[in-house]
Amino acid sequence: MHRIAFFCSVCILIGSVSVTAQDPQYSQFYAAPLYLNPAFAGSTGQNRIGMNYRNQWPSIDANFNTISAFYDTYIEDKNSGIGVLLTRDSEGVLGLQSISLAFQYSYDLQIVKGLSFRPGFQAAIYNRSINFDKLTFGDQFDPVTGDVINPTSAEGLNTGQSKFFPDISFGGLLYSKRAWLGIAAHHVTQPNQSLIGEESRLPMKISAHAGFKFYFKPGEMGDGFYKKAQERSFAPAIQYRHQGEFDQMDLGFYFTLEPLIIGTWYRGVPFKKVNGFTNNESIVMLVGFTKKGAKDILNIGYSYDYTISQLGPGSGGAHEISLVYSWSSRNPRKPPKDKLMIPCPDF
């Protein structure tokens, strides 16, 4: 019977490979810049630390929880950015988990005045695991009542399967004062992620992201010497991702009325059907708060995905929280380089 149980587990694992062939995604993708594209490492010209948390489909058992933390900084004398990114993604039913630790490098290259390009590189190590203790096998059920009668029938199996594998990614970002265009290729080596010794390659993920920011007359806060300009802007943006058989698009806009940022966008690919169904996934709504000091910036964001797919709003949609803090440690007596800042949103 253990052979039957093991065969069932193999089938489950093969199915899980198909389900999880797509990388986790963030609705606030610009609040997870190092996850989006390694070219964003050091992009603020400051030190930056951040955290992102996403709870997808909390009302059903097959929910996903993703959390990541990152740190990056800009080395002004070398025109370089470095960063480190830690990500954990888990699935509720099978206990399938993926943990990755990535190191990034980017270089800021001014092409002409007002136009810059940042190539980026990432080297990462992944650990993928599953816990058989969370699975129930066929020979544990009474064939008449359906009750679990043999909770220990999986004894003898390796209840904890785990695998490490390396991974390489590249990215690039072209930007001006008002516009940006980025492209990233993750899992370039397509590493074997199988937990059972079979061939199961992690598909390469190709993503492109772009946008344009329209600036309006800035607002004002404070009086006299303490008067400070506050950003007023409108930024339409798009992101498109392709991985294996999956395609996904985010299309929407951000409106900044500092210190408040609001945004909304549509996720889906309506011109490409999946299993006969139109790919309409969700409508995302965001509210963010930014606080800018003399040498630091704090950004806090919350977004909700309202599900419009066949799964329906009963899934609970998705809740997402971001927290990003950046600060300058440069010598105030040293004049800054003439460095162009990337205009993309903070969420």
345 is a domain residue? no
- Residue pair 57/66 in contact (Cβ under 8 Å)? The answer is no
Domain interval for residue 180:
2-327
- Residue pair 186/204 in contact (Cβ under 8 Å)? The answer is yes
User: Residue 134's pLDDT is what?
Assistant: 58
Name the phi and psi angles at 164, rounded to 5: -105, 145
Residue that the structure tokens 């929880």 belong to: 65
Residues in the chain: 347
State whether residue 49 is helix, strand or coil. Answer: strand
Distance CA 103, CA 85 (A): 7
291 is a domain residue? yes
180 is a domain residue? yes
CATH number of the domain enclosing 107: 2.40.160.40
93 is a domain residue? yes
333 is a domain residue? no
Going by C-beta distance under 8 Å and a sequence separation of 6 or more, which residues neighbour residue 241? Answer: 25, 205, 206, 207, 247, 248, 249
User: Residue 154's pLDDT is what?
Assistant: 46
User: Residue 225's pLDDT is what?
Assistant: 58
| pTM assigned to the model | 0.86
- Residue pair 185/209 in contact (Cβ under 8 Å)? The answer is no
CA distances from 330 to 49, 105, 299 (A): 16, 20, 21
Per-residue confidence of the chain (347 residues) as pLDDT tens digits?
333 333 344 343 434 333 445 799 999 999 999 999 999 999 999 999 999 999 998 888 778 999 999 999 999 999 999 999 999 999 876 678 999 999 999 999 999 999 999 999 999 999 998 876 655 655 555 665 655 565 554 444 455 588 999 999 999 999 999 999 999 999 999 999 888 778 889 999 999 999 999 999 988 776 655 677 899 999 999 999 999 988 999 999 999 999 999 999 999 998 887 777 778 999 999 999 999 988 899 999 999 999 998 888 888 999 999 999 999 987 766 666 778 899 999 99
334 is a domain residue? no
User: Residue 63's pLDDT is what?
Assistant: 86
User: Residue 9's pLDDT is what?
Assistant: 41
243 is a domain residue? yes
For the chain, the domain total comes to 1
Beta strand segments in the chain, E: 47-56, 64-75, 80-91, 97-107, 109-112, 115-131, 160-175, 179-186, 205-212, 214-215, 219-221, 228-230, 232-243, 246-257, 260-274, 277-292, 296-307, 318-327
User: Residue 156's pLDDT is what?
Assistant: 46
User: Residue 8's pLDDT is what?
Assistant: 41
